[in-house]
Structure 1
Amino acid sequence: MAGGNIIRGTRVGSGPMGENERGQAAPRVRIAFHCANGHEASPAFAADADVPEEWDCPKCGLPAGRDSAKPPTARTTEVYKTHIAYVRERRTDADGEALLDEALQKLRARRGEV
């Protein structure tokens, strides 16, 4: 015998894991969700849980619904806007020029150029 360790590959204190140690599992129900690409996902929910109307498809990421004949359409995502794009939405060019002139006057006054 190469090694004398009989419990090789196990941890001290580990034993058979089962429902006796973890408790009884809650009753579950599987609900089928269908996406527009024809994928089906069946996540398990607790029997007394509120099941959502939509679920994200794990294969393609599209929203999936319970009705296979009429799956939900893809959500439209808003294009990423930069900070300057949001500023331009709130201010006109005339407002921007006025703010720039004010800032330049303050800067010149601080430097003593006025």
Structure 2
Amino acid sequence: MATGGNAIRGTRVGAGPMGEQDHGFHAERVAVTYWDALGNETVRFFAANVPDEEIPEVIDHPHSGLPAGRDKDNPPAVAKTEPYKTHLAYVKERRTEQEAETLLEDALQQLRDRRGEL
């Protein structure tokens, strides 16, 4: 079976010539370069009409995960991560030892009253 010279095979109807530039409006944009502590560079594009104070000073670098800033010679430092706090650690921050003993004694007394023990 011989195939004909079908030039539009595999293209969408109405697609137009390849590389046509009239599809849509391309807004003006500005490129902002960010660097992380390892010297990795990334570029983000923002609309040209966005005020400079709305463009973030620090972003997370997409590859290293480190914070990245606009100043190549002075990149932002890695934020110190605090260890995970347990529920007990938070309770101890809010209560003194004396308050904890009082609360424990009250709770035990309520439990004894419900069970009928003295």
TM-score (norm 1): 0.77
Of the three residues 62, 68, 91, the one matched with 1:64 is 68
Give the 4+ runs in structure 1 shifted more than 2 A: 6-11, 14-21
Distance 1:67 1:100, change over 3 A: same
Cross-structure match for 2:34: 33
Provide the rounded CA distance (Å) in 2 between the counterparts of 1:25 and 1:86: 52
Question: 3-state DSSP class of the match of 2:117?
Answer: coil
Distance 1:10 1:80, change over 3 A: farther
Distance 1:30 1:98, change over 3 A: same
Of the three residues 77, 83, 87, the one matched with 1:79 is 83
- Structure 1 residue 31: deviation in Å? 0.9
Cα RMSD for the two superposed structures: 2.6
Unaligned ranges ≥5, structure 1: none
Question: 3-state DSSP class of the match of 1:31?
Answer: strand
Distance 1:8 1:99, change over 3 A: farther
- Structure 1 residue 38: deviation in Å? 0.5
Question: 3-state DSSP class of the match of 2:46?
Answer: strand
- Percentage of matched positions with identical amino acids: 51
Letter in 1 for 2:44: P
Provide the rounded CA distance (Å) in 1 between the counterparts of 2:11 and 2:88: 60
- Structure 1 residue 40: deviation in Å? 0.2
TM-score (norm 2): 0.75
Cross-structure match for 1:43: 44
Contact preservation (8 Å) 1:19, 1:25: no
